[in-house]
């Protein structure tokens, strides 16, 4: 069935919260029924954070573009498997995206390539700073990251933006595995409260 | 791993950031999640934090990507809507008993694998002939599977992508009712192709249904098409997660949301 133009205007005019989260849930329902116009709206909403995170984890632009395309295609294919009970649509998409990026770096060839490229990239602090420029989202996340202890902040950013396993994070920060687990969890709890995420 | 056993709850943050080290740890935490409602809620909240971090790291990709993705979307078939069950402990127990004895059963029919592999790698006809000579009956099935794959490859891009993937794993296993399932697994993309040969014919009103049997939930992977000369045409299954097994059950037509009979196949998928 062909999506009609009136669908497009409906999606554009739909009210959204600041990140468009609620609206995105509705869009995914339409995508699950094969609505390509709805998918375009999902693409426009999600491609920035998807590419941003994958790029941050993988670093290599061409690999990042490849994985970004895979992720977006997976969103199209698996839209029917999105379950609002398990969290918002943006979170569903980002979970797929981050996992795909992680899968890519845990494969050995990619890891070697990444090691090579990581030589050009500054220490974790710079990555965080880079991540948090202007824009409301960035400002909010920066403020909340700033409320963490240094080791909480570094553990979380090394794991999420850096794509390191917690064992690697423990080694990088020279703390025990047990400490890293706790710091990441405590830090995320603090972030959750600071960002006002309902749980 | 003593620490982990004592306090799996503490790993919720690590899990939410995809920072566990191994599939084993992941499986273990998934099992824990299954029993721990508060953990599931916590992970959900942490994932939302991660999503906020993703939006904060937003970056524009090359503009031409949009047209590329839309073109791919236009020619990509979507997964059917499936009723998913977020496994509760009761459900876990329901399928747990037969998992252990099935997981060890690896009755690989090497020669079928060899031929499929040869096919996937576009090996020559002479190798096919050579293999065929080794076992006339088996060769017939192999050739049929190969022919089916060939046909499907010409028509199905998804299939072609898997067969053309750089690192595919070939798996096969006999079912407990006889016959063999052959799987071409693309672990990197978490997808597979499965074809079967020699499964007993079912009475009308019954179908063979494929499942991805994971540590957290069981998801239908569709029905096996009706066999032609004992061979079913390849089925593509996607969205495989760590710990998944490929299961096959006999179900009332037109298939069920969750398996209702003991699987006749449960093939571990190394992803």
Per-residue model confidence (pLDDT) at position B237? 85
Nearest to A81 among B74, B86, B239 (CB): B239
Per-residue model confidence (pLDDT) at position B145? 59
The C-alpha atoms of residue B17 and residue A114 are separated, in whole angstroms, by 19
The C-alpha atoms of residue A40 and residue A72 are separated, in whole angstroms, by 10
What distances in angstroms separate CA B199 from CA A19, B145, B227, B266, one per listed residue?
A: 51, 13, 8, 15
* Site from A43, A51, A134 to mutate, B interface, most B CB atoms within 10 angstroms: A51
The C-alpha atoms of residue B41 and residue B31 are separated, in whole angstroms, by 15
Q: State mean pLDDT over B10-19.
A: 95
- pLDDT per position as a tens digit, B231-253: 787 788 888 888 889 999 999 88
Q: Which fold has domain A122-199?
A: Arc Repressor Mutant, subunit A (1.10.10)
The C-alpha atoms of residue A14 and residue A24 are separated, in whole angstroms, by 10
> In this complex, do B78 and A70 lie within 8 Å of one another by their Cβ atoms?
no
Per-residue model confidence (pLDDT) at position A145? 95
Between A190 and B129, name the one with better pLDDT.
A190
> In this complex, do A164 and B65 lie within 8 Å of one another by their Cβ atoms?
no
Is the domain spanning A1-119 CATH 3.90.1150.10? The answer is no
Q: State yes or no: pLDDT of B104 exceeds 80.
A: no
Q: Rounded to a whole number, what is the largest CA-CA distance in chain B?
A: 62
Other beta carbons less than 10 A from residue B25's beta carbon: 20
φ, ψ at A8 (rounded to 5°) = -60, -45
* Site from B1, B55, B83 to mutate, A interface, most A CB atoms within 10 angstroms: B55
Query: Which chain A residue lies closest to B22 (C-alpha atoms)?
Result: A165
Which segments within A17-94 are labelled E, that is strand? none
What distances in angstroms separate CA B101 from CA A89, A190, B211, B242, one per listed residue?
A: 38, 44, 17, 19
Strand arrangement, sheet containing B206-213? B218-223, B206-213, B245-252, B265-268
Per-residue model confidence (pLDDT) at position B58? 92
Q: What is the 3-state secondary structure (H, E, C) of A51-71?
A: HHHHHHHHCCHHHHHHHHHHH
Q: State mean pLDDT over B32-49.
A: 90
Chain A: nearest CA to B119, how far in angstroms?
25
Between B12 and A20, name the one with better pLDDT.
B12
The residue among B38, B180, B157, B33 whose CA lies nearest residue B108 is B180
Query: Which chain A residue lies closest to B220 (C-alpha atoms)?
Result: A81
The residue among B92, B237, B97 whose CA lies nearest residue B248 is B237
Please check whether residue A26 is in contact with residue A17, taking contact to mean a CB–CB distance below 8 angstroms: no
Most confident of A158-162, B109-113, B136-140: A158-162
* Site from B28, B36, B38, B61 to mutate, A interface, most A CB atoms within 10 angstroms: B61
Other beta carbons less than 10 A from residue B32's beta carbon: 18
Nearest to A181 among B10, B48, B188 (CB): B10
Domain spans, chain A: 1-119, 122-199
What distances in angstroms separate CA A62 from CA A58, A69, B11, B73, B212, one per listed residue?
A: 10, 11, 33, 20, 32
Q: State yes or no: pLDDT of B102 exceeds 50.
A: no
Q: Is the pTM of this model over 0.80?
A: no
Residue B84 host element (H or E): none
How confident is the prediction along chain A (199 residues), in pLDDT tens digits per residue?
444 444 443 343 333 444 444 489 999 999 999 999 999 999 999 999 999 999 999 999 999 999 999 999 999 999 998 988 778 999 999 999 999 999 898 875 555 655 555 544 443 444 444 444 446 778 889 999 999 999 999 999 999 999 999 999 999 999 999 999 999 999 999 999 999 876 4
SS3 B183: strand
Nearest to A49 among B58, B68, B81 (CB): B58
ipTM of predicted assembly, 2 dp: 0.82
φ, ψ at B193 (rounded to 5°) = -120, 140
Q: State mean pLDDT over B158-165.
A: 62
DSSP state of B8: G
SS3 B192: strand
The C-alpha atoms of residue A101 and residue A85 are separated, in whole angstroms, by 24
Between B207 and B145, name the one with better pLDDT.
B207
Nearest to A199 among B20, B42, B72 (CB): B42
> In this complex, do B52 and A95 lie within 8 Å of one another by their Cβ atoms?
no
């Amino acid at each position: 069935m062909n999506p009609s133009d009136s669908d497009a205007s409906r999606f554009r005019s739909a009210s959204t919260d600041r990140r468009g989260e609620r609206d995105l849930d509705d869009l995914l329902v339409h995508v699950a029924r094969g609505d390509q116009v709805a998918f375009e709206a999902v693409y426009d909403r999600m491609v920035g954070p998807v590419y941003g995170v994958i790029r941050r984890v993988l670093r290599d632009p061409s690999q990042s573009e490849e994985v970004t395309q895979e992720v977006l295609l997976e969103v199209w294919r698996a839209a029917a498997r999105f379950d609002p009970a398990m969290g918002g649509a943006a979170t569903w998409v980002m979970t797929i995206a981050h996992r795909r990026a992680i899968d890519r770096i845990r494969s050995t060839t990619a890891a070697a390539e990444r090691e090579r490229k990581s030589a050009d990239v500054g220490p974790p602090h710079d990555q965080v700073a880079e991540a948090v420029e202007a824009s409301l989202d960035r400002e909010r996340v920066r403020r909340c990251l700033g409320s963490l202890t240094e080791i909480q902040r570094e553990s979380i950013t090394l794991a999420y933006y850096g794509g390191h396993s917690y064992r690697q994070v423990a080694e990088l920060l020279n703390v025990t595995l047990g400490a890293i687990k706790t710091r990441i969890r405590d830090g995320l709890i603090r972030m959750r409260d600071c960002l006002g995420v309902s749980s | 791993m003593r620490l982990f056993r004592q306090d799996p709850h503490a790993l919720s943050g690590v899990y939410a950031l995809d920072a566990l080290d191994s599939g084993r740890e992941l499986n273990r935490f998934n099992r824990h999640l299954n029993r721990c409602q508060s953990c599931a809620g916590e992970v959900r909240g942490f994932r939302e934090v991660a999503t906020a971090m993703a939006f904060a790291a937003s970056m524009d990709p090359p503009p031409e990507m949009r047209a590329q993705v839309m073109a791919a979307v236009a020619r990509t078939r979507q997964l059917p809507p499936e009723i998913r069950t977020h496994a509760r402990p009761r459900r876990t127990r329901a399928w747990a008993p037969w998992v252990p004895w099935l997981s060890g059963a690896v009755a690989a029919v090497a020669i079928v694998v060899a031929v499929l592999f040869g096919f996937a790698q576009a090996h020559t006809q002479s190798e096919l002939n050579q293999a065929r000579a080794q076992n006339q009956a088996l060769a017939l099935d192999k050739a049929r599977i190969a022919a089916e794959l060939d046909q499907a490859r010409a028509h199905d891009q998804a299939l072609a992508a898997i067969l053309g993937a750089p690192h595919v794993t070939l798996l096969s296993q006999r079912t407990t009712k006889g016959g063999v399932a052959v799987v071409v697994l693309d672990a990197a993309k978490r997808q597979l192709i499965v074809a079967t040969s020699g499964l007993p014919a079912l009475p009308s009103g019954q179908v063979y249904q494929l499942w991805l049997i994971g540590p957290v939930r069981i998801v239908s992977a569709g029905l096996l098409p009706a066999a032609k000369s004992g061979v079913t045409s390849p089925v593509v299954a996607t969205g495989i997660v760590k710990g998944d097994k490929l299961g096959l059950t006999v179900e009332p037509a037109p298939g069920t949301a969750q398996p209702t009979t003991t699987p006749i196949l449960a093939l571990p998928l190394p992803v």
